[in-house]
A and B are shown apart, each in its own frame.
Chain A
Amino acid sequence: MDGLKPRIADAMHRQSQPTVTVLSTLLAVQDELGFIPKQGIEEVAAFTSSTINEVWAVASFYPNFRFEPPCLHQVEVCWGASCHLVGAMPLIEAALQASGLETEGDTSDGRLTLRYNTCLGACSQAPVMAIDHHLIGRATPESAKARIAELLAEQNG
């Protein structure tokens, strides 16, 4: 885990916004590593002059923080109101089917993390999904299946 320390420190110190908080620092760490390791909680506590349990209380409050290394690819399907109205549910079902998951989560081969998102901020393109933070507008169950199948079949990421 020692290799993570410089990356964590770098991410924490790189924050350029005027107000640095526990939350912003946690986000910086997660942006860097894709997750927050135990060491990350400790480093954030030291950086923000708070305690590990204070940081944990914040980190565990938000479901968007994850504490295990992420899978190779992140697939997010929006189920906000706009997307919901134009077919988010069939999209979700297709995504689940294609990835072999029963609900949002990680595939067992570690290739793909599927998450529901409450708004990806692109209602005009609804329904939307995002793969590795790249938006895909007017997604269809078929296109979702195809893209996920591609991700799962890829060789060596």
Chain B
Amino acid sequence: MADDITISIDGVEIITQPGKMILEAAIEAGVYIPYLCYHPGMKPFAACRMCVVGVEGGRGYPAACVQPVADGMKIRNEVPDVLELRRSVMEMLIAEHPDGCLTCHRVEICGPNDVCLRHVSVNDRCVTCPKNERCELKDTVRYLGMNLESPLDYKYRQIPLEVADPFYDRDYNLCIVCGRCVRACEELRGDDAICFTERSGSALVGTSFGTSLLESGCEFCGACIDVCPVGALVERDHKWEKAARVERTICPHCPVGCQLNLEINSAGRFIRAVPDLNSPANRGQACFKGKFGLEYVNSSDRLRKPLIRRNGVLEEATWEDALDLVSTRFSEYTGDTFALLTSPQSTNEEHYLGQKFARVVMNTNNVDQTSNVQPELVEALENALGYAAATNPIWDLENSGCILVFNSNVTEEHNVVGVPIKRAAKRDTKLVVIDSREVELTRYADVWLRPAPGTELLLLGGVLRSLIDQGLENPEWLEENCESPSTVHYALHNLDMDQIVQITQVSLDDIAEAARLYGQAESASVVYALDNVSVDLRQDCVRALIDLVLVTGNLGKPGSGIYPMRQGANEQGAWDVGCVPGRLPGYQPVGDENARQMFEEAWGITLPSNPGLGLAAAIRGAAEGRIKAMMVIGDSANFSNGKLGDGLSALRELNFLVVHDTFLSPVAEIADVVLPRVTFAEKEGTFTNLERRVQRLTASIQVKNNDSRPESWVICELARRMGASGFDHHSPSQVMDEIARLSPIYAGVSYKRLEEESRLVLRTNLESPQPTQVLHSSREYRGIQWPCQEPGAPGTETLYVEGFQERKADPATPEFRAAEPADDSEYPFLLVPGRVLLQNHRDMEIIEGKRNRIQRQEWVELNASDAAAWSIGEGDEVEVLTQRGDLTGQARLVDSVPPGVVAVTSLFGQLAVDLQDSKDPDPASNVPGLDIRPAKVVKAGSNGSS
């Protein structure tokens, strides 16, 4: 590049760019300068002084992390005076860290299995530190060649260990106050759950008033643990275990597609997950689910052998018997009495094989995926714009001038998407949140519109109308890119703003402000889900959001995306490869004869042309007896959380149910045949995340003493037994090749490319001390973002950059209306649950013990008019009763809650405690959502009849 400059470190020339710091340039070039407080991705801090260097012609010894490079700069690194200075710095650092573990003369000869020969007092022994053998400080001490004796006395801080909060073990006696954790929490995550406390000799890391993390606003994402160079912060699970190898794979918990580095111990067991620093989707971040919710892989409750129901009891069987039975029985149900449901954790290849099995072998389009409870989320998007996916990359949210979040609890359900949103909101991006529930992002919002439940669509109409009334639309863009620009305006004419204010219970000023923030921004994004939106309003809500995007021309450029927040980890992939009833691979409609013909030629069969039943319809079909046999892959909370009615009862009606799952889940318990299934960590394949990025999973661990198989194997075995051809793939890679041949948007995707297009980004010399994340992340795997229409073509980061080529955007007119109020005399209220990280103004108590617990009086917020009608006074103890559980709290009469609603906002800390204590083998997959539900409110102690 033109502006490249050359610097030299100990005579080695390095090409770099102005604006970088010496340390950055050195790390990129693979030259080692020791450092402890710097961490790639965070701003330099210059606290540890370990990276001091000499600069020829300069004065003193600047810290390399904050000294900018200049052309021709000659830097002295591994020279005696610099090394001596670093050693004296280290002497001071280890005066407050146990130094026995660092300087013990047996370090060189002591092996992992040796008993410590007590050269060092107990507190200081390397073997009593959880970071032993993976400690950056120790590695740095060894690198510096410290003397075995320090002239400074070591001062043990005598701080009690903090081991009562969920998931984390903290030992601040080992802290070297590098500040990485504090900066990760503030700078990378935007949370500020921890801070520096006090100063100079007593400076340390802690929380305000030394409170538990449960009340300091911690989201238990583990970012602080990931960056800690010493043993001060560690994951409690497998705390003492060392990684024998590290495998990169994709987190199975949500569609963000975080690349995780799984640490595997010498016995081949998964011990820890460390998010990958160079991953384009998560940039070194994870969340409570990815960091602490993968332990189920090691569970001893896993299914090991196939089970067949004989005389009403599930009994162990061989794969041969099970598969023979299943294939025989399935042959009786070919056609539309069969349905196949794959799992959101199935890979693209498995989804593809699943839909192919349903269509080719079972001759039905009844195929869907168990997390796809809201197909409306993307249907309108596909119809209006062309693609059923987010238009922009996740981290492009940081470039938005305004972000509108609609009915989506992002920080819990797609946590890492919340990170760029929070970071942007902390800078100058405006954040508009539309949600009846109080969720974490409402704390960050510039405007929080809190509509009465059921009036979200009407509110969107109000925002649109206000936006146009304020002259904030972009008519030129709309004219150029839209099929019928006037459509959008048409529906708005009839809207009466006064009526909207009255029905939605949102003030005109707030609506206008939200419209102004969104409309005036140079670039604006929409992040949406349809949580709690009733079925008949979902399509129109999405249409209204698309209209908002189109009238302002916020499409096809950086910072201007629309992001549907899907539920399942690989739900996007399921849609892409046709594992949905109405679409063949590559979104080719089943009803389209040409498309069908192409697949019929490729697969050598005749395809059914009726669109088939999706998840909800298939479950209804089972209840009504139209579906008689089903294969369900993976468990899903949706069978029992009411999203599919009484799903389990419906499945009980089936003549024949096969469940392929990892655990004997509620749905497996009622199956006729249960097949053991491997987890995400034990299989090869690809997931496609919500930004259309196809990324590879690695079979990181071997299944031991367990006959579990992936569904790709099961499906191919069944197809083979049922006499079908086209199921003889040897590897997922071959399946992907077939997908690429048949699905134009995946045409350029291949395993070879996914592997070859990775590149070395951190030339880390593994001999030198490095932060764990850096050690794991030297290579960058960017995946491929579809559409990738040709074999060599680059993927597409942002959709519609070139405008609309084949067809213009075709928005549909929503009919702005409110949901019909449910006339439920027994449960006249709606309980609106919320959950946030922090509530400063609320009194709470932490019950300390082996595990800290939160104790506080919940507030049941309700409108004063309701309270009067039900004779409830401020501060009264009330019970909120629903069909799915009750709760008690203290009544608070507030204006912000609309009539007919009771709102209860709990603390995330309580959820973290519950997850930690859960007996569920996979609690992270079953985090209770914030569902609005009918309720009644009674004064505590009364019998409920009032």
Residues of A within 8 A of B (CB): 38, 41-42, 45-46, 51-57, 60-62, 67
Give the Cβ gap from B428 to chain A, nearest Cβ, in Å. 13
- Which of B82-90, B187-195, B626-634 forms contacts with chain A? B187-195
Whether the Cβ atoms of A55 and B208 lie closer than 8 Å is yes
A53/B199 contact (C-beta < 8 A), A42-B841, A45-B840, A46-B840 known:
no
Nearest Cβ distance between residue B909 and chain A, in whole angstroms?
14
Q: Could you tell me if B197 and A60 are in contact, using CB atoms closer than 8 angstroms?
A: yes
Q: Which of A41, A46, A53 contacts B192 (CB 8 A)?
A: A53
Q: Are A51 and B217 in contact (CB under 8 A)?
A: yes
Of A41, A45, A46, A61, the contact of B209 (CB 8 Å cutoff): A41
Q: Is B840 touching A53 in the complex (CB atoms < 8 A)?
A: no
Choose among B195, B198, B838, B840 the residue that contacts A54 (Cβ–Cβ < 8 A): B195
- Would B198 and A56 count as touching, CB distance under 8 A? no
- Chain A residue nearest in CB terms to B192: A51
Contacts A38-B209, A41-B208: A57 and B217 contacting too (C-beta < 8 A)?
no
Closest 9 CB pairs between A and B? A56-B208, A53-B195, A51-B192, A57-B195, A42-B840, A52-B208, A60-B197, A61-B199, A53-B192
Q: Does B207 sit at the interface, judged by CB under 8 A?
A: yes
How far, in whole Å, are A56 and B838 apart by their CA atoms in the complex?
15
Contact present for B194 and A53 (CB under 8 Å): yes
B158-195: CB near A (< 8 Å → 1, else 0) gives 00000000000000000000000000001000001111
Question: For residue A55, which residues in chain B have a CB less than 8 angstroms away from its CB?
Answer: 208
**B196 contacts A by Cβ under 8 Å:** yes
Interface centre among B192, B208, B216 (most CB of A within 10 A): B208
The answer for the CA separation of A42 and B195 in the assembled complex, in Å, is: 15
Given A42-B841, A60-B198, does the pair A54, B192 have CB atoms closer than 8 Å?
yes
Q: A42-B841, A54-B192 are in contact. List 8 more A-B contacts (CB 8 A).
A: A41-B208, A52-B208, A53-B193, A53-B208, A53-B216, A55-B208, A60-B197, A67-B209
Closest to B838 in A: A52
Nearest to B204 among chain A residues (CB) is A60
* Complex-state Cα separation, A46 to B839, whole angstroms: 12
Which residue in B186, B198, B199, B840 is a CB contact (below 8 Å) of A52? Answer: B840
For residues 187 through 226 of chain B, which have their beta carbon under 8 Å from a beta carbon of chain A? 192-199, 207-209, 216-217
Instruction: Determine the main DSSP class of A at the interface with B.
Output: helix
**A79 → B minimal CB distance (Å):** 18
- Contact size range, B: 10 to 19
User: A38 CA to B840 CA in the complex, in Å?
Assistant: 10
Most buried by B among A41, A46, A56: A56
Mask, B230-263, CB within 8 Å of A = 1, is 0000000000000000000000000000000000
Report the nearest A residue to B843, measured CB to CB.
Answer: A1
Q: How far is the CB of A107 from chain B (nearest CB, A)?
A: 24
Using Cβ atoms and an 8 Å threshold, which residues of chain B touch A56? 195, 197, 207-209
In whole angstroms, what is the CA distance A42 to B208 when docked?
10
Nearest CB on B from A115, distance (A) = 17
> Which residue of chain A has the shortest Cβ distance to B198 in the bound complex?
A60
- Interface contacts (Cβ under 8 Å), in number, total 44
**Per-residue A-contact encoding for B815-841, CB less than 8 Å = 1, 0 else:** 000000000000000000000001011
Convert B256-286 into 0s and 1s, putting 1 for each residue whose CB lies closer than 8 angstroms to a CB of A: 0000000000000000000000000000000
Chain B residues lying within 8 Å of A42, measured Cβ to Cβ, are: 840-841
A53 CB to nearest B CB, Å: 4
B196, B216, B841: the one within 8 Å of A57 (CB) = B196
A45 to B195, CA, bound (A): 14
Residue among A52, A53, A54, A60 with the highest chain B CB neighbour number at 10 A: A53
Between A38, A51, A67, the greatest number of chain B beta carbons within 10 A of the residue's beta carbon is seen for A51
Q: Which B residues contact A (CB, under 8 angstroms)?
A: 186, 192-199, 207-209, 216-217, 838, 840-841
CA distance A38 to B216 in the complex (A): 12
Question: Closest B-chain residue to A56, C-beta based?
Answer: B208
Shortest CB distance B262–A (Å):
32
A-B contact pairs, 28 of them (CB 8 A): A38-B208, A38-B209, A41-B209, A42-B840, A45-B840, A51-B217, A52-B208, A52-B216, A52-B217, A52-B838, A52-B840, A53-B192, A53-B193, A53-B208, A53-B217, A54-B186, A54-B192, A54-B195, A55-B208, A56-B195, A56-B197, A56-B207, A57-B195, A57-B196, A60-B197, A60-B198, A60-B199, A67-B209
Bound together, the chains give a CA A60 to CA B216 distance in angstroms of 16
Whole-angstrom distance between the alpha carbons of A151 and B186 in the complex? 47
Q: A41–B208 Cα gap in the complex (Å)? A: 8
Question: Please, how many angstroms separate the alpha-carbon atoms of A55 and B192 in the complex?
Answer: 11
Q: Which residues of A contact B198 (CB under 8 A)?
A: 60-61
Contacting residues, chain B, for A41 (C-beta < 8 A):
208-209
Which residues of the partner chain B approach A61 to less than 8 Å between Cβ atoms? 196, 198-199
Chain B, Cβ-Cβ closest to A41: B208
Tell me which residues across on chain B come within 8 A of A67, comparing CB atoms.
209
> How far in angstroms is the closest Cβ of chain B from A69?
15
Cα-based distance from A17 to B840 in the complex (angstroms): 27
| A56 and B199 alpha carbons, distance in the complex (Å) | 12
A38: min CB distance to chain B, Å: 5
- Determine the chain A residues whose CB is within 8 A of the CB of B197 once the complex forms: 56-57, 60
| A52 to B218 CA separation, bound complex (whole angstroms) | 12
CB distance from B649 to the nearest CB of A (A): 48
Closest A residue to B839 using CB positions: A42
Q: Is the CB of A53 within 8 A of B207?
A: yes
B190's nearest neighbour on chain A, judged by CB, is A51
**What distance in Å separates the Cβ of A52 from its nearest Cβ neighbour in chain B?**
4
B856 to chain A minimum Cβ distance, whole angstroms, is: 15
Closest to B203 in A: A61
Residue from the set B195, B196, B198, B199 with the largest chain A CB neighbour count within 10 Å: B195
Task: Please give, as numbers and ranges, the residues of chain B lying within 8 Å of A60 by CB-CB distance.
Answer: 197-199
Bound state CA distance, A52 and B198, in angstroms? Answer: 15
Q: In the complex, A56 Cα to B198 Cα: how many Å?
A: 9
Give A65 Cβ to nearest chain B Cβ, in Å: 11
A129 to B301 CA separation, bound complex (whole angstroms): 71
Which residues from chain A contact B199 at a C-beta distance below 8 Å?
Answer: 60-62
Q: How far is the CB of B650 from chain A (nearest CB, A)?
A: 48
B-chain residues with CB within 8 Å of residue A57 when the two chains form the complex: 195-197
Query: Which residues of chain A are near B193, meaning CB under 8 Å?
Result: 53
CB distance from B157 to the nearest CB of A (A): 16
A6 to B841, CA, bound (A): 14
The residues of A that contact B194 with a CB separation of less than 8 Å are 53
> Nearest chain-B residue to A37 (Cβ)?
B209
> Which chain B residue lies CB-closest to A67?
B209
Complex contacts, A38 vs chain B, CB 8 Å: 208-209
Tell me, in angstroms, the Cα distance from A56 to B192 when the chains sit together: 11
A53 contacts which chain B residues (CB < 8 A)?
Answer: 192-195, 207-208, 216-217
Report the nearest B residue to A57, measured CB to CB. Answer: B195
Output the least CB separation between A62 and chain B (Å). Answer: 8
Residues on A with C-beta less than 8 A from B841 are 42
Q: How far is the CA of A61 from the CA of B207 in the complex (A)?
A: 13
> In angstroms, how far is the closest chain A Cβ from the Cβ of B202?
9
On chain A, the residues within 8 Å of B192 by CB distance are 51-54
Contacts of A62 in B (CB 8 A): 199
Q: Which residue of B lies closest to A59 (CB)?
A: B208
Q: How far is the CA of A46 from the CA of B443 in the complex (A)?
A: 12
- Give the distance to chain B from A33, nearest Cβ to Cβ, in Å: 16
Q: Which residues of B contact A45 (CB under 8 A)?
A: 840
Q: Which residues of A contact B207 (CB under 8 A)?
A: 53, 56
Contacts of B840 in A (CB 8 A): 42, 45-46, 52
Nearest A residue (CB) for B185: A53
Residue of A nearest to B196 (CB): A57
Tell me how far the C-beta of B192 lies from the nearest C-beta in chain A, rounded to whole angstroms. 4
User: CB-nearest residue of chain B relative to A51?
Assistant: B192
A88 and B233 CA atoms in complex are apart in Å by 44
In the bound complex, CA of A62 to CA of B186 (Å)? 21
Chain A residue with the shortest CB-CB distance to B207: A53
Question: B209's closest neighbor in chain A, by CB?
Answer: A38
Min CB distance A61 to B, Å, is 5
- Interface centre among A42, A45, A52, by most chain B C-beta atoms within 10 angstroms, is A52
Complex CA distance for A57 and B216, rounded to whole angstroms: 13
| A60 to B197 CA separation, bound complex (whole angstroms) | 6
